[in-house]
Structure 1
């Protein structure tokens, strides 16, 4: 099978889970509007998605990003990502938006998709497993992102359209990685570190605090389950 076709196929499958996560969130909110444990479940999913994002940060983005860069570029790019998303988060807060999960998902999804494309030509098996791993991450993150969007004033249909369009960003990222970054490992590493800085800021500023629920201990456990998903994915990729 042609490499370009494979990249479009696998990145497309991993990306469509962004839209599927939104569909599941819509169905869940419609069917379980008065579910006794709705609030606790929502916090669990937030923590679960956060755990997966942390695992991507700790197991994929930072380690891969550090491989090709020396200490000073590593620190500068990481801080640049952190600062950029601090400014962006403040801007969204002033506008009354609540899109931290959406931002974190995109910062996770896009650089990993670029990495998928960049490594696919030389390691098809790892590229395939990475696509599966990305898809697993996107589902709970999109579930929370849908709720972020609707709470920010988006109507349900518009929120789903946004997620549907964003689901194709993985294909774009993977093709960019494949066509332009196969022989540019420093740029790929820089993108991963930039994303890592932004993700870490968003985790402690928005995602982790919103996952906590007073006198409830199960939601926080979701972060451990999410991180375990990342461990399993990394073991599969490494294997």
Structure 2
């Protein structure tokens, strides 16, 4: 049982590092061109769509199953407000970390939820592992670019991403051993994350993914959300 959980959470986490490696190759080994620029923005949109699907199909529904209306409102607004304040603080520092924050905001609570529901709902755990892995790939791809533009070296960024890959395993183990008996706490965490992710998407990520006089990049968001629908339906 634990071995299977480690495999699921390990798959979900390793895509963070793989996304960073792909971004490094794409950014430094593919010549600059309008097509490359469009691909980058389309991937940003794709990641946004997957994050929206995580909110709509996993985080909020699971939270609504366990919580009453007022606790949902409280956790959702708390996540939104705290990440608004954090985003303002980071903007003053001059860093571009919104995509990384959004990635961690769904990666960590979903990993904890993966561990918490693994023994109770194996099909839900499988869906979460697939969701997390698919989300992390484009999100890490975009986060890599943002961190490098903020002044991080390539090697330092890849080391950060390699370390973040293990957050999924750590979160899943925490959820499995400490939170599976407290579904309400897991639900609060998921709703809190939803508020933070939604703020970061609307404030930073979606506006940056848009290109003037280009309408195809937005299809990336549609396809990202469609991936979430397919995963939810198949699993």
Q: Which runs of 4 or more aligned residues in structure 1 lie more than 4 Å from their structure 2 counterparts after TM superposition?
A: none
Deviation for aligned residue 1:235: 1.0
CA distance change for structure 1 residues 129 and 71 in 2, over 3 Å: closer, same or farther? closer
Q: Provide the alpha-carbon RMSD of the alignment.
A: 1.0
> For the residues of structure 1 that align with 2:59 and 2:84, how far apart are their CA atoms?
19
**In structure 1, what is the equivalent of residue 104 of structure 2?**
106
Deviation for aligned residue 1:33: 3.1
**TM-score, scaled relative to structure 1:** 0.96
**In structure 2, what is the equivalent of residue 90 of structure 1?**
88
**In structure 2, what is the equivalent of residue 167 of structure 1?**
165
**In structure 2, what is the equivalent of residue 126 of structure 1?**
124
Match of 2:220 among 216, 219, 222: 222
Number of corresponding residues: 235
Deviations 1:121-167 (A, max 9, x none): 12323322321221111100100010011011001111111111111
**In structure 2, what is the equivalent of residue 142 of structure 1?**
140
| Contact 2:54–2:131, Cα closer than 8 Å, also in 1 | no
Instruction: Please list, as runs of the form range in 1=range in 2, the aligned pairs for 1:1-239 lying within 5 A after superposition.
Output: 3-237=1-235
Q: Unpaired segments of 5 or more residues in structure 1?
A: none
Deviations 1:177-234 (A, max 9, x none): 1001111010000000100000010010001100110000111110001000111111
Q: Unpaired segments of 5 or more residues in structure 2?
A: none
